[in-house]
């Protein structure tokens, strides 16, 4: 079903808000390196730090 390398990716924050530009850059860099997929919102500190809108926007 799934093939290749999948990684847990951090959600970067800047001044207490999601840094969408940095998140985009992280994703693009990992794709360029050959990563096949991501586990977003998968680290321990992110879920309680995000609003529902931020969660939807990230996904």
pLDDT at 37: 93
pLDDT at 2: 84
pLDDT at 19: 96
pTM passes above 0.75: yes
Buried b (16+ CB within 10 A) or exposed e, 21-52: eebeebeeebeeeeeeeeebbeeeebeeebee
- Mean pLDDT by groups of 10 residues along the chain of 59 residues: 90 92 96 94 79 92
pLDDT at 42: 77
Domain ranges for the chain, please list them: 6-58
């Amino acid at each position: 079903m799934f093939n290749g390398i999948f990684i847990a990716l951090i959600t970067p924050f800047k001044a207490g808000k999601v840094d969408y530009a940095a998140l985009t850059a992280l994703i693009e860099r990992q794709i360029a390196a050959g990563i096949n997929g991501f586990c977003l919102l998968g680290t321990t500190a992110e879920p309680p730090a995000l609003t529902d809108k931020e969660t939807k926007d990230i996904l």
